[in-house]
Amino acid sequence: MTEKRTIVIPGTIVGEAGKKKPGMGTFQENNNIYASRLGIKVDKADYINIIPLSGVYNPSTGDNIIGTIIECQLSSWMVDINAPYPAMLHVNQVPWKVEFGATGQYLTVGDSIIAKIGLIDESKKIELSMEDRGSRKIDAGIILDVQPQKVPRIIGKSGSMITLLKKYSNCWIFVGQNGRIWIKGEADKVDFIVEAIKKIEKEAHTVGLTSRMEQFLKERQK
Amino acid sequence: MSVSTIKKDYLIKLAKEGRRVDGRKFDEYRPIKIQKGIIRMAEGSARVELGNTMVLAGIKMLLGEPYPDSPDKGVLSTAAELIPLASPTFEAGPPREKAIELARVVDRGIREANVIQLDKLCIEPSEKVWVVFMDLHILDYDGNLFDACSLAALSALNTTIIPNERFEIGKDEPLPLDESPISCTFVKYGDAIVLDPSLDEEEVADARLTISLDKEGSVRAIQKGLKGTFTIKEIETITKIAQTQVKKIRKLLGDKDGKSKKQEKG
Amino acid sequence: MNKNEIQLIKKGKRIDGRRPDEIRPIDIQVGVLNRADGSCYLEWGGNKVIVAVYGPRELLPKHQQDSTRAKVQATYNMAAFSVEDRKRPGPDRRSREISKVTSEALSGVVFTEQFPRATIDVYIEVLDAQAGTRCAGITAAAVALADAGIPMRDIPASCAVGKVDDTLVIDLTKEEDNYGQADMPIAIAPRTEEILLLQMDGHLTMKEFNTGLELVIDACKKVSEIQKKALLSKYGSSLS
Q: Among A98, A97, A93, A99, which residue's Cα sits nearest to residue A113? A: A93
Q: Are C127 and C79 in contact (CB under 8 A)?
A: yes
Q: Is C229 on the interface with A (CB under 8 A)?
A: no
Q: In this prediction, what percent of chain C has a pLDDT beyond 70?
A: 95
> Taking chain B, what is the end-to-end CA distance rounded to the nearest angstrom?
44
Span B181-190, average pLDDT: 93
Mark yes or no for CB contact C80/B79 under 8 Å: yes
Nearest by CB to residue B2, choosing from A70, A140, A141, is A70
Q: What whole-number distance in Å separates Cα of residue C158 and Cα of residue C174?
A: 17
**What residues of A are in the C interface, CB distance below 8 Å?**
5-12, 25, 27, 29, 34, 36-39, 41, 52-56, 58, 84-86, 122-124, 149, 205
Chains that touch A (3 or more CB pairs under 8 A): B, C
Q: Note the pLDDT tens digit of each residue in B80-122.
A: 999 999 999 998 888 899 999 999 999 988 888 889 999 999 9
Question: Which residues 144-163 of C have a C-beta within 8 angstroms of A?
Answer: 146-155
What is the Cα–Cα distance from B224 to A67, expressed in whole angstroms?
Answer: 34
Residue B23: closest C-alpha in chain A: A191
Domain map of chain B by residue range?
18-253
**Which of B83, B133, B142 is the closest to C125 by Cβ?**
B83
Cis ω for the linkage preceding B71 (within 30 of 0): no
Q: Give the separation between CA B137 and CA B53, rounded to whole angstroms.
A: 12
Using alpha carbons, select from A142, A151, A194 the residue that is nearest to residue A175: A151
Among A138, A173, A198, identify where a domain stops. A138
End-to-end CA distance of chain C: 52
| Inter-chain residue contact C118 with A84, CB threshold 8 Å | yes
Residues of chain B found within 8 Å of residue A71, distances taken between Cβ atoms: none
pLDDT in tens, A12-47: 999 998 889 999 999 999 999 999 999 999 988 889
Mean pLDDT score across all residues of chain C: 93
| Residue at A2 is within a domain | no
Are C46 and B40 an interchain contact pair (Cβ–Cβ within 8 Å)? yes
In a domain, A213, yes or no: yes
Q: How far apart are the CA of A80 and the nearest CA of chain B, in angstroms?
A: 8
Which of C93, C159, C106, C156 lies closest to C132, judged by CA?
A: C159
On the question of pLDDT at C72 being above 90, the answer is yes
Report all structural domains of chain C as residue ranges with CATH numbers, in order of start: 16-229 (3.30.230.70)
Q: What is the DSSP string of A23-51?
A: -TTEEEETTEEEE-SSEEEEE-SSEEEEE
Does residue C142 register a pLDDT over 90? yes
Q: Which chain C residues are Cβ-neighbours of A5 within 8 angstroms?
A: 237
CB-CB neighbors (< 8 A) of B6 in chain A: 112, 138, 140-143
A52: which chain C residues are within 8 Å (Cβ-Cβ)? 149
Q: Which of A112, A187, A191 sits opposite B4 (nearest CB)?
A: A112
Question: Which residue of chain A has the CA closest to B4?
Answer: A110
- The CATH code of the domain that includes A78 is 2.40.50.140
Taking 60 as the threshold, does the pLDDT of residue B255 lie above it? no
Picking from A7, A11, A58, the nearest residue to C154 by CB comes out as A11
Helices (H) and strands (E) in chain C, counts: 4, 12
Backbone angles phi, psi at B217, to 5 degrees: 85, 10
Q: Clarify whether residues A38 and A79 are in a common domain.
A: no
In a domain, A1, yes or no: no
CATH of the domain at A168: 3.30.1370.10
Q: Is the pLDDT of residue B65 over 90?
A: yes
Q: Does domain B18-253 have CATH number 1.10.730.10?
A: no
Let me know if residue A206 belongs to a domain.
Answer: yes
What is the torsional sign of CA A174, A176, A177, A179?
negative
In terms of Cα–Cα distance, which of B259, B208, B261, B263 is closest to B238?
A: B208
Mutation for A interface: C106, C119, C153, C233, most A CBs within 10 A: C153
* Cβ contact A36–C152 (<8 Å): yes
Summarised one tens digit per residue, pLDDT across range C206-220 is 999 999 999 999 999
Q: Is C220 exposed, middle or buried (CB count within 10 Å of its CB: 0-12, 13-18, 19+)?
A: buried
Task: Establish if A74 touches chain B: CB-CB under 8 angstroms.
Answer: no
pLDDT tops 80 at residue A114? yes
Average of per-residue pLDDT across B255-262: 37
- C-alpha span between A147 and A175 (Å, rounded): 12
Distance from CA of B199 to the nearest CA of A (A): 14
Q: What is the pLDDT of residue B262?
A: 37
By C-alpha distance, the chain B residue nearest C49 is: B39
Nearest to B83 among C34, C77, C86 (CB): C77
pLDDT on residue C157: 98
Residues in chain C within 8 Å Cβ distance of A7: 232, 235, 237-239
- Asked whether the beta carbons of residue A27 and residue C146 sit closer than 8 angstroms, the reply is no
Number of Cβ atoms within 10 Å of the Cβ of A134: 10
Residue numbers in C near B135 (CB within 8 A): 79-81, 86, 89
- pLDDT of B57 > 60? The answer is yes
For chain A, the domain total comes to: 3
Confidence at residue C126, expressed as pLDDT on a 0 to 100 scale: 98
Dump pLDDT digits (tens) for A44-96: 888 999 988 889 998 999 999 999 999 999 999 999 999 998 899 999 999 99
Q: Which of B62, B135, B141 has the CB atom closest to C79's CB atom? A: B135
One DSSP character per residue, A128-140 reads EE--STT-EEE-S
Within C84-207, strands assigned E span 118-128, 157-164, 167-170, 182-189, 194-198, 201-202
**pLDDT (0 to 100) of residue B100:** 93
Q: Mind telling me how many Å the CA of C142 is from chain B's nearest CA?
A: 15
Same domain? For A197 and A216 the reply is yes
- Domain end point (choices A108, A138, A168): A138
pLDDT tens for residues A127-136?
Answer: 999 999 899 9
pLDDT at B264 over 50: no
Tell me, yes or no, whether A59 lies in a domain.
no
pLDDT in tens, C144-184: 999 999 999 999 999 999 999 999 999 999 999 999 999 99
* Residues of chain A found within 8 Å of residue B2, distances taken between Cβ atoms: 68-70, 80, 109-110
Residue of A nearest to B3 (CA): A110
Is B262:B241 a contact under the CB 8 Å cutoff? no
Q: Cα(C161)–Cα(C204) distance, rounded to whole angstroms?
A: 11
Q: Name subunits touching C (3+ CB pairs < 8 A).
A: A, B
Is the separation of the CB atoms in C74 and C102 below 8 Å? Answer: yes
Burial A152-186 (b: 16+ CB within 10 A, else e): ebbbbeeeebbebbeebbebebbbbbbbbbbbebe
A136 touches B: beta carbon within 8 Å:
no
Cross-chain Cβ contact A187/B4 below 8 Å: no
- Cβ contact A112–B2 (<8 Å): no
Residues A107 and A126 in one domain: yes
Residue at A77 is within a domain: yes
Residue A34, domain extent: 7-52
> At B195, phi and psi to the nearest 5?
-90, 145
Arithmetic mean of pLDDT, C101-128: 96
A56 touches chain B (CB under 8 A): no
Which three-class secondary structure state does DSSP give residue A104? Answer: helix
Chain A hits for C108, CB-CB cut-off 8 Å, are none
* Residue contact C155–A56, C-beta within 8 A: no
What's A21's domain CATH number? 2.40.50.100
Say how many C-beta atoms besides its own lie within 10 A of residue C70's C-beta. Answer: 26
Identify the chains in contact with B, defined as 3+ C-beta pairs within 8 A: A, C
Chain-chain contact of C35 with B59 (C-beta, under 8 angstroms): no
Interchain pair A36, C67: CB under 8 A: no
For residues A130 and A157, membership in a common domain is answered with: no
8 Å CB contact of A11 and C151: no
